[in-house]
């Protein structure tokens, strides 16, 4: 199962108690060049995962060991003027969803916000390193 699928499953579980937020599995998630998370506030969209493979060890017999960094972004937009009272909990639950991915040497998640007009867009970034 792809890391993106694991994340969607875990986020679905983590936000089950928050009725004002839901998650979409849709890909791609734009319409006429406009991201759907800008139109559908309160819906989390998870982007396709991106892989970056680097050489971790080189050996004299070319038995090289690689490490793969998988990056997944997720987006959530909410009304800036009427932000959910539980938005901090929702954000925390989205961040810890990374723990569902196991057998990694490193897993990180963070987010940043951007306010455009009356909309706050939360952009989450998940990084997983596997060998």
CB of 107 to another protein, least distance (A): 12
Under the binding rule (CB under 8 A), the answer on residue 56 touching another protein is yes
Beta-strand pair 50-57/30-31: unpaired
| Choice from 34, 54, 55, 62 touching another protein (CB under 8 A) | 62
Within 78-117, which residues bind another protein (CB under 8 A)?
105
Under the binding rule (CB under 8 A), the answer on residue 61 touching another protein is yes
Q: How far is CA 3 from CA 20, 32, 35, 71, 117, in A?
A: 25, 28, 22, 9, 33
CB of 65 to another protein, least distance (A): 6
How far is it, in rounded angstroms, from Cα 15 to Cα 23?
A: 9
Q: Are 18 and 86 in contact (CB under 8 A)?
A: yes
Under the binding rule (CB under 8 A), the answer on residue 53 touching another protein is no
In the complex, the residues that contact another protein under the rule CB under 8 A are: 56-63, 65, 67, 105, 131
């Amino acid at each position: 199962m792809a890391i993106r699928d694991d994340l969607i499953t875990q986020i679905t579980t983590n936000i089950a108690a928050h009725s004002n937020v839901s998650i979409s599995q849709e890909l791609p998630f734009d319409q006429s060049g406009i991201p759907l998370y800008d139109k559908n506030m309160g819906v989390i969209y998870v982007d396709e995962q991106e892989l970056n493979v680097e050489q971790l060890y080189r050996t004299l017999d070319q038995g090289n060991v690689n490490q793969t960094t998988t990056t997944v972004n997720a987006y959530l937009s909410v009304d800036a003027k009427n932000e959910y009272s539980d938005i901090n909990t929702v954000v925390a639950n989205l961040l810890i969803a990374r723990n569902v991915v196991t057998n990694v040497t490193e897993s990180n998640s963070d987010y940043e916000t951007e306010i455009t007009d009356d909309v706050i867009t939360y952009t989450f970034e998940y990084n997983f390193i596997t060998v």
